[in-house]
Amino acid sequence: MEYQKLFIKINNGLQEFHDLGQVADYIPELGKVNPNKFGVHLTTVDKQHFGFGDANEKFSIQSISKVLALTLAYTLEDENLFKRVGVEPSGTPFNSLFQLEADNGIPRNPFINAGAIVISDVLVSHLKNPKEDFIQFVQQVAENSEISFCERIVASEKSCGFRNMALANLMKSFGNIKNDIDEVMDFYFNLCSIEMTCQELSKTFLFLANHGVCPFTNTIILTPSKTKRINSIMQSCGFYDEAGEFSFKVGLPGKSGVGGGIVAIHPEKYSIAVWSPKLNKKGNSNKGIEFLERFTSETKISIF
């Protein structure tokens, strides 16, 4: 497949796309990003790389890292993990509070903020040096020892993380946060601050397209069954109250972040990462979704 030519063709077609999205500015540091950045990178399971635009520029992957946190927590807790967090689409915004009270402090899924905070709590319980051990895990999966947290983003999120603190406190009141709230939230904000390029992101997520094994190193990250399940949660919950729409338009499991990144997986074929910082009203990259819709329409290949 001539992915490179296809990227150019789709990008040319997108010149007429009026992107009415807005850069996330509820986290002050994210509001400073150039809104017109655009990058895409695809890595195949047979280790071919295809990049376009700003594919080698670092950005804040934000909620995309929740998939990596879930991956590690799932290997540590197995199915017990799902006693504390569900696997159902929420149908609500990523930072919504109201459902959590009705559900007795059990978040609908691991990708809404509440779910990722529970996963953070699980990792804080298991890991000796939670932040250090987690970033080492990410570096191992990424096969890149330079992947790191961004202290600037952590400080910026902490300065305005009132909703996230409210979610954590509500869950603590139901007994679904076991550790000290400040420690769990410090971990959560660091998790969200990880920076990667599109190239790094697509390579890092390739294990999900390859039954849980990194094709570059043959390292087993997850069992095939757990890999299937994480892809399945991405399919139904990766885009919050727009998960159905993403599935309808693109037809691949994926995950978004408010930094404007999206990663999508085609099992046994590739992992593709797109970055365009302007977000739609649901907090997902506007042009990123449009690009991926055109991509699977042009290739006529999706999981359906």
Q: Which is nearer to ligand DON, 192 or 263 (CB)?
A: 192
Q: Which is nearer to ligand DON, 24 or 72 (CB)?
A: 24
Per the CB < 8 A criterion, the answer to whether 271 and 43 are in contact is yes
Q: Does 256 bind ligand DON (CB under 6 A)?
A: yes
Q: Does 113 bind ligand DON (CB under 6 A)?
A: yes
Residue 240 is labelled as binding a ligand: yes
Query: Which residue from 21, 50, 18 is spatially nearest to 283, judged by alpha carbons?
Result: 21
Please state the φ and ψ torsions of residue 253, each to the nearest 5 degrees. -70, 145
Residue 113 is labelled as binding a ligand: yes
Q: Does 94 bind ligand DON (CB under 6 A)?
A: yes
Residue 228 CB contacts under 8 Å (≥ 6 apart), including other chains: none
Burial label, 125 (beta-carbon count in 10 A; 0-12, 13-18, 19+) = middle
Kindly tell me which residue out of 157, 241, 242, 290 binds ligand DON, with binding defined by CB under 6 A: 157
Q: Does 43 bind ligand DON (CB under 6 A)?
A: no
Residue 233 beta carbon to ligand DON: minimum distance, rounded to whole angstroms: 15
Render the burial of 258-295: b for 16+ CB within 10 Å, e for the rest: bbbbbbbbbbebbbbbbbbbbbbebbbbbbbbbbbbbb
Stretch that binds ligand DON, among 48-56, 136-144, 217-225, 251-259 (CB under 6 A): 251-259
Please state the φ and ψ torsions of residue 213, each to the nearest 5 degrees. -110, 130
Kindly tell me which residue out of 258, 273, 274, 292 binds ligand DON, with binding defined by CB under 6 A: 258
Residue 153 CB contacts under 8 Å (≥ 6 apart), including other chains: 27, 29, 30, 60, 192, 193, 195
Residue nearest to ligand DON (CB): 63
Q: How many CB atoms lie within 10 A of CB 167?
A: 27
Q: Does 90 bind ligand DON (CB under 6 A)?
A: no
Q: Does 283 bind ligand DON (CB under 6 A)?
A: yes
Binding site residue list for substrate: 63, 113, 157, 164, 188, 240, 258
Which residues contribute to the site for ligand DON (CB under 6 A)?
62-63, 94-95, 113, 157, 164, 192, 256-258, 283-284
